[in-house]
Amino acid sequence: MATAYQNLSSCDNNTVPDAPHLRVAIVCAEWNADITGALLEGACNTLQKHGVKPENIFVEHVPGTYELTFGAQRAAAHYRPDAVIVLGCVIQGETPHFDYVCQGVTEGTTRLNATLDIPVIFGVLTTGDKQQALDRAGGKYGNKGNEAAVTAIKMAAFAARMK
């Protein structure tokens, strides 16, 4: 559903499993740090709100959004978490670079979901301008980091049920 119709930070807390046992790795892009930092803060706060212990949240940074796939793969192997969240922000510019980065990280995340035994959650903003990113990183449309954290909890619970 389009963000204009649903706040990224709103969810029915009754549908989010309690998660005191979960281990979650977050790989966050440094590029557009003001945006990705807000996404990271939202994700960490939401994970803790639902019971994930701070010592079970492992945060790593990579230079840009394109590098999130490699970072997620390595974080999954190193930390052995129940889920990995990738956080990034790509703002459209005047060249096709936007398309290549967005396609690369989307396909990379999809590939990891098909090959790893744990969910890799796509918390990447792909916006037309900086204001759209700000609106989705704690602004008027909520925080995509919150949504990614809730998705990680739900998908980790799903994966556990399917073992």
Contact 9, 146 (CB under 8 A): yes
| pLDDT single digits (tens) 123-158 | 999 999 999 999 999 999 999 999 999 999 999 999
Residue 68, CA atoms < 13 Å, CB-side half-sphere:
36
pLDDT digits over 61-111, tens only?
A: 999 999 999 999 999 999 999 999 999 999 998 888 999 999 999 999 999
Full DSSP string of 11-46:
--GGGSPP-TT--EEEEEESTTHHHHHHHHHHHHHH
Q: pTM of the prediction?
A: 0.94
Catalytic residues: 97
- Written as six digits, the tokens of 109 are 């995340």
CATH fold group of domain 20-161: Rossmann fold (3.40.50)
Q: What is the pLDDT of residues 105-116, one digit of tens each?
A: 999 999 999 999
Q: What is the pLDDT of residue 3?
A: 60
Output the pLDDT for position 1. Answer: 46
